[in-house]
């Protein structure tokens, strides 16, 4: 069921929140051993919340799974890392969790993820591997792979993820669900364990566009505890969602349909574009010339910010501490050496390098300038089109372990998603068919829709028209 249909079932007296929680727990016990989406779930606490649920609220009694880098009072928050596996329990609710609870939702389950959200496959989790429900030999995507896999597998009705360079949209595409990254600052980051503070954004993974709008409605809004939170009105995101695309102008960027795209991905996305055109949209070719610089720009800025953000994990302030250090320096050395996985270490080293004396201007300052050029590309494009359509990923989900010694291949899988984070605009992945790939008969494909800054209403309207094409 979707959140929308489940809420109707509550109102009709067909089921209860407690029965739904018990059903999800049974599904986790039956199926999650092979999927590996859940790191933990507190059934007793969820059932207590279910008994007290106020069904008159917008999300009354609806269970929502939470990516394990979002603090929930009394729950673990491991970030998929050995550093926090046993050493940290959240002492407070993140703003999004507080807002979900105020709307009546029940946070249920802590979802697996790439360690500290650094990865595109959930293979970088230090705790377990998450598999794609459509093919257990495939990745679920990342870094919100657990959230996407659980929604696709039926062990969660909806989930929260975080998106720094595509970490909601890419696993949503690979698992065949809806994944929404809001405008940067639309949803508070207070209580989200930071990876790259100028890029991170929390958003929903759901089974329908309507559900994504429902969760966004509950979680959006200004938060004085987050200095990057936008103090702007929150519109009704469901208003006009069924208005269709007649009369809208949709841009198709040439740079997103070049070499390297799997034919099945291209065919499905082009079919969806033709369907939107048949529904009354005008299709306009556009250019985003700085697209080719997005990946390189991201992998300067994001590791630089990660290097700074992860300095707090030192064995003193947070996380597991080395057992028998020789001195304070050895505490830092052993704790970080044993606590962080290879990808996290790689990005910390890269980020520290680009921020170091003599290299700051050559790399970090230059990357920030290119970021502005990428942002300018989108601003110019949105002067002539209402939204932009593209693939989410160049290929469907690859096989697990297929590029163990080549992280660059995973970096390039986010080539179509990164620019939205660099420019701060909203973007969504909506399923648009399946294709054969590398021995698999039918793997999901997603279509990406991008809208102007604070243009979530437009985004959701186009997404709804693209749904079930």
d(CA 373, CA 143): 27
pLDDT in the model for residue 390: 98
d(CA 453, CA 184): 8
| Dihedrals phi, psi of 146, to nearest 5 degrees | -65, -40
Kind of pairing, strands 440-450 and 427-437?
A: antiparallel
Q: What local confidence, expressed as pLDDT, does residue 259 receive?
A: 87
Cβ(242)–Cβ(210) below 8 Å: no
Q: What is the pLDDT of residue 301?
A: 98
Predicted model pTM: 0.97
* Bridge partners of residue 252, in order along the sequence: 285
The per-residue pLDDT for 95 is 98
Q: Tell me, rounded to whole angstroms, the distance of Cα 364 from its chain centroid.
A: 25
Per-residue pLDDT tens listing for the chain (469 residues): 999 999 999 999 999 999 999 999 999 999 999 999 999 999 999 999 999 999 999 999 999 999 999 999 999 999 999 999 988 999 999 999 999 999 999 999 999 999 999 999 999 999 999 999 999 999 999 999 999 999 999 999 999 999 999 999 999 999 999 999 999 999 999 999 999 999 999 999 999 999 999 999 999 999 999 999 999 999 999 999 999 999 999 999 999 998 889 999 999 999 999 999 999 999 999 999 999 999 999 999 999 999 999 999 999 888 888 888 999 999 999 999 999 999 999 999 999 999 998 999 999 999 999 999 999 999 999 999 999 999 999 999 999 999 867 788 788 889 999 999 999 999 999 999 999 999 999 999 999 999 999 999 999 999 999 998 7
Query: Residue 410: its pLDDT value, please?
Result: 82
Q: What is the pLDDT of residue 319?
A: 84
Looking at residue 403, its pLDDT comes to 80
Domains delineated in the chain:
1-469 (3.90.1300.10)
Strand partners for 109: none
Which sequence positions are flagged as catalytic? 67, 143, 167
* Bridge partners (DSSP) listed for residue 202: 162
Q: Please, what sign has the CA dihedral across residues 28, 34, 35, 39?
A: positive
What is the Cα–Cα distance from 159 to 203, expressed in whole angstroms? 9
């Amino acid at each position: 069921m979707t959140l929308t249909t489940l809420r109707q079932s509550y109102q009709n007296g067909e089921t209860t929140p407690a029965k739904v929680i018990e059903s999800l727990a049974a599904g986790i016990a039956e199926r999650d051993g092979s999927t590996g989406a859940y790191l933990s779930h507190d059934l007793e606490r969820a059932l207590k919340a279910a008994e007290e649920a106020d069904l008159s609220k917008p999300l009354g009694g609806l269970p929502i799974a939470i990516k394990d880098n979002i603090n929930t009072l009394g729950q673990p928050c491991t970030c998929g890392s050995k550093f926090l596996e046993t050493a940290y329990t959240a002492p407070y609710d993140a703003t999004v969790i507080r807002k979900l609870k105020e709307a009546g939702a029940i946070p249920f389950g802590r979802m697996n993820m790439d360690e500290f959200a650094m990865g595109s496959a959930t293979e970088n989790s230090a705790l377990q591997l998450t598999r794609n429900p459509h093919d257990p030999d495939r990745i679920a995507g990342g870094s919100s792979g657990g959230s996407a896999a659980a929604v696709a597998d039926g062990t969660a009705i909806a989930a929260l993820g975080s998106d720094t360079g595509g970490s909601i949209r890419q696993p949503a595409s690979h698992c065949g669900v809806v994944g929404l990254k809001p405008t940067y600052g639309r949803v508070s980051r207070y209580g989200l364990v930071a990876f790259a503070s100028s890029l991170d954004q929390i958003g929903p993974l759901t089974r329908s566009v309507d559900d994504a709008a429902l969760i966004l409605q509950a979680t959006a809004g200004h938060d004085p505890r987050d200095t990057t939170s936008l103090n702007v009105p929150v519109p009704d995101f469901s208003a006009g969602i069924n208005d269709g695309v007649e009369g809208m102008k949709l841009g198709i960027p040439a740079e997103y349909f070049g070499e390297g795209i799997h034919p099945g991905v291209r065919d499905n996305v082009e079919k969806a574009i033709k369907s939107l055109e048949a529904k009354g949209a005008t299709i306009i070719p556009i250019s985003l010339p700085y697209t080719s610089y997005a990946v390189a720009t991201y992998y300067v800025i994001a590791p630089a910010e990660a290097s700074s953000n992860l300095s707090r994990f030192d064995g003193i302030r947070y996380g597991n501490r080395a057992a028998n250090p020789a001195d304070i320096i050895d505490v830092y050395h052993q704790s970080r050496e044993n606590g962080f996985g290879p990808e996290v270490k790689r990005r910390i080293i890269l980020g520290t390098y680009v921020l170091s004396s003599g290299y700051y201007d050559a790399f970090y300052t230059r990357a920030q300038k290119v970021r502005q050029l990428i942002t300018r590309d989108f601003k110019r494009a949105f002067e002539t089109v209402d939204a932009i359509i593209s693939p989410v990923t160049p290929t469907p989900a690859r096989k697990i372990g297929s590029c163990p010694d080549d992280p660059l291949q995973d970096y390039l899988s986010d080539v179509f998603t990164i620019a939205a984070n660099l420019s701060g605009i909203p973007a969504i992945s909506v399923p648009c068919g399946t294709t054969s790939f590398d021995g698999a008969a039918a793997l999901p494909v997603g279509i990406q829709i991008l809208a102007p800054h604070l243009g979530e209403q437009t985004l959701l309207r186009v997404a709804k028209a693209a749904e079930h094409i």
